[in-house]
Structure 1
Amino acid sequence: MPRKRNQDVTSWYEAPPPDVCPLCGRIVPAEQRDEHHLVPKSRGGRKTQVLHRICHRQIHAQFSEAELEQSYPTVEALLAHPAIQTFVAWVKKKPPGFYDGTRRSNRRRE
């Protein structure tokens, strides 16, 4: 009787589908995975969304927590903002593992 290790064994395991960033539409590598609270935790938010680290940082550089809670509690609302649209158009052209430092918006420095 042959041993199991010599037989072809069909695996039952299927890898989970890769996470796709809802902001830019690129696949999120494990090392660039951040969970964004659509409504900030400090304001009672619980629901999260998996994003690229660079996309997540851009959101927080652009908006205050009060703005995120009141005006941008969904991905669709974020995508409607012109500054986020410009960022997404730029970052879509980058490879999935791309990361660059994020600067705070001039609007937020006031």
Structure 2
Amino acid sequence: MTRKPRYDVVSWYEQPEPEICPLCGRDIPQDQRDEHHLVPKSRGGRQTQSLHRICHRQIHALFSEAEIEKSFPTMDALLEHPEIRKFAAWVAKKPPGFYDGTKRSNRRR
């Protein structure tokens, strides 16, 4: 009895393109992916953007939902803010799976 030939399953499999965080520019691991509503869901927003969990939490630590809706409805608008730009430059040096607790801004207290 002859054996069936073994096919190399890996040869036809193409790994999906890594998703890049628009805030920090790093690859987003599956376990660190959060969906950010560009306009908050509570204010009727539907469009989302995938971000690192730490980047997403930093946005919400710095800005209220009203501020996000009025002043920061796009990633470009967020990146123009000096505190977000400073955070993005800092976190861009970390490995893709890096996570650290986020502290609420004194401005929001």
Is 1:28 the counterpart of 2:28 in the alignment? yes
Q: Per-residue displacement from partner, 1:27-71 (whole Å, max 9, x unpaired)?
A: 000110101000000000011000000000000000000000000
SS in 2 for 1:93: coil
Segments of structure 1 that go 5 or more residues without pairing to the other structure are: none
CA shift for structure 1 position 8: 4.8
Deviation at 1:101, TM superposition (A): 0.2
Q: Secondary structure at the match of 2:101?
A: coil
Aligned pairs (5 A) from 1:81-92? 81-92=81-92
Cα distance in 2 between the residues matched to 1:23 and 1:2: 53
In the alignment, which residue of structure 1 is the partner of 2:76?
Answer: 76
Does the residue aligned with 2:23 lie in a helix, a strand or coil? coil
- Distance in 2, matches of 1:45 and 1:72, equals 13
Q: Are 1:104 and 2:104 counterparts?
A: yes
Instruction: String of CA shifts for 1:3-38, please: whole Å, max 9, x gaps.
Output: 242x45674432221110000000000110101000
Distance 2:18 2:44 in 1: 29
Which residue matches 2:4?
3
Match of 1:52 in 2: 52
Q: Distance in 2 between matches of 1:17 and 1:83?
A: 30
Distance of 1:86 and 1:10 partners within structure 2:
41
TM-score by length of 1: 0.91
